[in-house]
Structures are given as structure tokens and as C-alpha cells.
Amino acid sequence: MHYNDNQTIYLHVPCALDWMPRIMSLIDQGSGDLVCPCTSDIPPAIPNGDQYELGFLRAEEAHQYGRHKIYLWFQLTTPGEWHGEKFYMACNIASKGKWGPSSKFWLTWVLAAGRRPKRVDRMSTAIFRNKVFRARMRKVLKTSKQIDRTPAQQYSVVDELLEVTVGR
């Protein structure tokens, strides 16, 4: 615990999700309220469909529910209400680097590259750079415990990349 001049107590509070970093929370001595910053990008909920075009932004590695994952982040380039919004595709990381031909990352990588990898232990996310993809978007309607989300809790993810439209 640490006090500053304004009598605000800084506490390290572990987040309930094991893949999120610990966040700094503030307790205002006057009210006792916690101030918890949201350190993640939560995408908006958009209609399901396979007509969306997305440009690749970045890749992140994280842990969720005890599994290693790769998050491929894209920006929507389709004109309209959600143009410029950011969405991710979550792919499980293969144990011991052994990607199977049905794994989401392997299938996505092969689509982006237009070929099979020469070495499955060297599949760089650089293959997604400077490309635009047609993608299927899916709205997340339930929690990991299969509890229905309210409309305000729903968000959309990239379910599948369908084709490379620019950058092949």
C-alpha cells in the first residue's frame, strides 16, 4: 500500500482473468470507491456476416484460461458505421510448436501466405502485414460459462479470414 499527498491509497489488485496483467487500483479515501482502469480494447458488437474487409494491425501473445493464445488484431476497412474499429481473432498456440492442419492459426497463416509453411516451427505473423482480408465476423453472445450476455456486454470478433483481397 502507498499513500500520496491526496490521501489516495494505491493497491495492486490481481484481475480475475489470469491473462490480464495486474492493474493499479485507486481507493478515494473520501468515498471508498475503487477506480479500475480498463487496459484492454473491447471491440464493439457489429452484425454477423462475411462481407467485412480488415487490414492487419498487430499480433499479441497472451494467456487465457490456462492456454497460450495469439491475438491477431485487425482494423475494419469496410466503409460504414464501424469503419476504423479494431477487432481480434484469437488462436490457440500449438503445444510444443506443433501446428496441426486444422488449427485456426495454421489455416489463417496458409491463407495469408498462399502456401504451406516451409517450417511449422517458424510461422511468423509478419505474413499478415500489408494485407487486407475479407473476413467473417461473429458477435460474442455468451460468457465462457455459457451465460447470456446483455446487449451492452456483447462484442464482435474475427471468426475466420476468408480471402486475401489486397496484398497477395
Confidence (pLDDT) at 47? 97
Confidence (pLDDT) at 30? 63
User: For residue 121, what pLDDT band results from cuts at 50, 70 and 90?
Assistant: confident
pTM: 0.78
pLDDT at residue 144 above 70?
yes
Would you say how long the chain is, in residues?
Answer: 168
User: For residue 25, what pLDDT band results from cuts at 50, 70 and 90?
Assistant: very low
If you search the block for the grid coordinates 483481397, which residue do you land on? Answer: 165
Query: What integer best gives the mean pLDDT of the chain?
Result: 83
Three-state secondary structure string covering the chain: CEECCCCEEEEEECCCCCCCCCEEEEEECCCCCEECCCCCCCCCCCCCEEEEEEEEEEEEEEEECCEEEEEEEEEECCCCCCCCCEEEEEEECCHHHCCCCCCHHHHHHHHHHCCCCCCCCCCCHHHHCCCEEEEEEEEECECCCCCECCHHHCEEEEEEEEEEEECC
Q: How far apart are CA 132 and CA 76, in angstroms?
A: 9
Region 46-63 average pLDDT: 96
Of 93, 80, 72, give the one whose Cα is nearest residue 159: 72
Lowest mean pLDDT among 78-87, 112-121, 136-145: 112-121
Domain ranges within the chain, ordered by starting residue:
2-35, 49-166
User: For the chain, what percent of residues have pLDDT higher than 70?
Assistant: 81
Beta strands 67-76 and 8-13, pairing class: unpaired
Confidence (pLDDT) at 64? 77
Confidence (pLDDT) at 40? 74
Region 135-140 average pLDDT: 98
Of 38, 43, 33, give the one whose Cα is nearest residue 17: 38
Confidence (pLDDT) at 29? 58
Confidence (pLDDT) at 14? 40
